[in-house]
Structure 1
Amino acid sequence: MERYSQPTQPEREQRGKGFPKEHRLLLPEEAPQTVELPAVAGHTLTVRRGLSLLLVGGYSPENGFNQQLLEYQLATGTWVSGAQSGTPPTGLYGHSAVYHEATDSLYVFGGFRFHVELAAPSSELYSLHCPDRTWSLLAPSQGAKPRPRLFHASALLGDTMVVLGGRSDPDEFSSDVLLYQVNCNSWLLPDLTRKFIAVPASPRPGTPAH
């Protein structure tokens, strides 16, 4: 009987050549593993193409910051976790996330970020390329980054991420609107967005309000 031996790394790479990465057969050590969902708060849960939910970040007093990338597969009703590459966040809480279908990527902004033994408000923007689970820490192609923002809301309008509300530090609320343009990798900051937001005029004295 022929004995089976584990393939070497060059053999693994050779087997995958000629096929798109998302269509390659996963070897046992590459396949996502079914996991139990940890108790977390302050995380994001984002729909990907109506097929799965991506859970990023979160914190619990028992387990600390969640550093796993967890995916709930709607077809099977199971949670899975697989290897990540690139520059993943080391711990996030109170951030936001939006899914951009054209690039099959998740954009994760702000929150409390755990980094080098310290958790502090963050202005960082991460992208996750979902097919190969690769993270990137994005620096704007032009212009500056926004101030830190946490416990805010984000939504995607076309190719623009809109960030609203939240706090710029633990004791300061923010009413500024931030716009991130995915295709340009650039931010429109409050000094620009305020020009496009109409502020209702205060009613004149003696004028009934409706």
Structure 2
Amino acid sequence: MGDLEFYLLHKPQVKPLKLTWKRDQPSINKTLTKDLRSFLVLFAHGTWPEGIDDFTVVADGNGEEKCELGKLNPSRRALYYDLKDSCLGGDGDIRLMIKSSSRKVEDTLRETTAIRGIPNQRIRKMQETETASPNRSHRKVEKDKSLSLSSSKKRKKSNDDAATPETDLSSRGTSTSRRLRLSENLKKQDVSPGTKRSSPPKSVPVVVTSDDWPGQRWGHAMCATGPDTLILVGGQGANQVISKDALWELNSVDLSWKVPEVEHIPSRPDLRTGHTVAYDEILKLVYVFGGSKNVRWYNDLFVLDVTKNKWSLIETTGKAPTRAYHTSTLYRGELFVFGGIYPNPNLEPDSCSNDLYIFSSVNKSWYEPLVFGSKPKARSGHSATLLGDKLVIFGGWDAPVCFNDVHILDLGLMEFSSPDVSGAPPSPRSWHAACPLSDNRVLIHGGYNGYQALSDAFVFSLDSLSWQQVTLNGTGPLGVRAGHILCSVSDNPDDQESEKILMFGGGDNEDNFFNDLHRVTITES
């Protein structure tokens, strides 16, 4: 890594300005003309100079008022600032100053949050081995609670990408911890850079962890094993700690939790996050596949026999994909695994996938099917919801690009399609929650858009290929959240009246994690 340099992004799709810092130059000054007044993204790249604790970013407009925009330090290498919502009013030029820690700034407006990407899958100290993001937009990241925007290797960019490597506003990285997390300190409002922020939603109530209630977490997996029972597996909580209370059973009638007594000799799944679960109603088995923990990535396949309460590791043949933050769907005795993150060898950056793998429960083998149509772009953090014989894939990201596209995989024809849809779709997002509803519909809630967690909800109708925004009502305030779970359970899947929708866990993108449980109802907007 070379000497420290600063990069200033002031317009989407425009290459950042390079600002070089020299030790004998205590501050960097840059004048921005009035047409560059929407927002600022500033990030530092290179080796942090010895003896410098941080840099203070200060701006003044027309020489009348001085604002402190934020600080950059080794663990916070980027900041975003909304110029429209600041003391820098007016239409004149502004002067930006980047000053080393020896210079004290007296007039402060507010410290701007560092741009951090959620779903950092793996975290490593900046000084460690070269790292990069799973989408090949290679970034270095830090082992503490933040992500940086400093670039190491730069990925080859396809013509379809929505931003150049220099304009990444979020990052994911390769690291020793390989942990999924929500970025802290970003505001909760559903806004984009340059948009005036409104008041944040009310905070989400958090249930105190106890012996009869799961701990706070996100990145967990959950599925119904009957009309009254759901199984919760894994996840990760505060301080990037993998949840040790990894297996819970929920009674959907009285909303009570218990830890099932499960036999796990000779083996059971390691603690993990970014995995998936799927339930086989015929064999009464819960399949747990993939995920990651610290430096480990998994391609093992475990089953939990809910009749015998016993874990088993399936010995498989064929090439099992190593995946995390993918989707798994059980259909006619086969497990369909799509997308996700996979590690590359020799410390190369990990990558997003758009491959489809199938596990056959009959012959215990993995294979890649012949698929027709155009596959979705590589992604992770997406959702895949089964409606009949159609798999509805929505959203996800290959950082820095978030998606809000809809793809349908016909499991009978094994053909992808990208239909034209009507109605106002959800904004691009990943790490949202999704579940099937009656009448061939999918419910989408929350997620992360590369800047903050979201709180809105939408219903997609497969029959009409249309979106409708809706309002979710919980047993308490839902707030913003990502990395949570929605599950629908019903005695009769075709009876909307008997349908129960449950929401559990997640995080609010401010380093808060939840273990609240909601019985959710839908109100059409």
TM-score (norm 1): 0.70
Q: Give, in whole Å, the separation in 1 of the partners of 2:409 and 2:345.
A: 27
**Structure 2 counterpart of 1:112:** 341
Of 385, 401, 407, 1:172 maps to 401
Counterpart check, 1:160 vs 2:390: yes
2:375 aligned with 1:145, yes or no?
yes
Identity of aligned residues (%): 21
CA distance in 2, matches of 1:193, 1:88: 34
Give yes or no for the alignment of 1:133 onto 2:361.
no
Select 1:60's aligned residue among 285, 293, 299: 293
Deviations 1:85-125 (A, max 9, x none): 12211x10110011113xx1111100102354552000001
Superposed, 1:1-210 pairs within 5 Å as: 34-49=266-281, 51-61=284-294, 64-89=296-321, 91-101=322-332, 104-117=333-346, 118=348, 119-140=350-371, 142-167=372-397, 169-189=398-418, 192-194=419-421, 197-198=465-466
Contact 2:268–2:302, Cα closer than 8 Å, also in 1: no
| Distance in 2, Cα, partners of 1:162 & 1:34 | 37
Q: Is the 8 A contact 1:165 1:173 kept in 2?
A: yes
Which has more helix, going by share of residues?
A: 1
- Matches of 1:123 and 1:59 in 2, distance apart? 18
Aligned equivalents of 1:97, 1:183: Cα separation in 2: 17
Name structure 1 gaps, 5 residues minimum.
Answer: 1-32, 201-209
Q: Distance in 1 between matches of 2:342 and 2:465?
A: 30
1:86 alignment partner, SS class: coil
Q: Partners in 2 of 1:193 and 1:93 — Cα distance? A: 29
Distance of 1:153 and 1:199 partners within structure 2: 16
Distance in 1 between residues matched to 2:467 and 2:367, nearest whole Å: 37
Q: How many residue pairs are counted as aligned between the two chains?
A: 161
Higher Cα Rg: structure 1 or 2? 2
SS in 2 for 1:161: strand
Q: Deviations over 1:38-68 (max 9, x none)?
A: 0110000110126010011100005x01121
3-state secondary structure, aligned to 1:138: coil
User: Distance in 2 between the 1:199 and 1:38 partners?
Assistant: 39
Q: CA deviation at 1:199?
A: 6.1
Q: Is the alpha carbon distance of 1:155 and 1:80 closer, same or farther for their aligned partners in structure 2, counting shifts above 3 Å?
A: same
Note the alpha carbon deviations across 1:117-167, whole angstroms, 9 max, x for none. 552000001111112211111241x32222112101111111111111221
Partner Cα distance (1:107, 1:157) in 2: 14
Q: Say if 2:277 and 2:289, in contact at 8 Å, map to a contact too.
A: yes
Instruction: Answer yes or no: is the 8 Å Cα contact 1:124–1:138 preserved in 2.
Output: no
**C-alpha distance 198-112 of structure 1, shift in aligned 2 (>3 A):** same
Summarize the Cα distance change of 1:106–1:56 in structure 2 as closer, same or farther, 3 Å threshold: same
CA distance in 2, matches of 1:199, 1:53: 31
Q: Which amino acid aligns with 2:278?
A: T
How far apart are the structure 2 equivalents of 1:74 and 1:199? 36
SS at match of 2:421: helix
Q: Is the contact between residue 421 and residue 467 of structure 2 (CA under 8 Å) also seen in structure 1?
A: no
> Whole-Å Cα distance in 1 between the matches of residues 269 and 467 of structure 2?
44
DSSP-derived class of the 1:127 partner:
strand
Report the equivalent of 1:207: none
Separation in 2, partners of 1:56, 1:98: 11
Q: Go from structure 1 to structure 2 and tell me whether the alpha carbon gap of 1:193 and 1:84 turns closer, same or farther (over 3 Å shift).
A: farther
Deviation at 1:80, TM superposition (A): 0.5
Query: Which consecutive unaligned segments of at least 5 residues does structure 2 have?
Result: 1-264, 423-463, 469-524
Q: Which amino acid aligns with 2:404?
A: S
For residue 111 of structure 1, what is the amino acid of its counterpart?
G
AA matched with 1:151: G
Amino acid at match of 2:409: Y
The Cα shift of 1:194 comes to 3.3
- TM-score of the aligned structures, taking structure 2 as reference length: 0.29
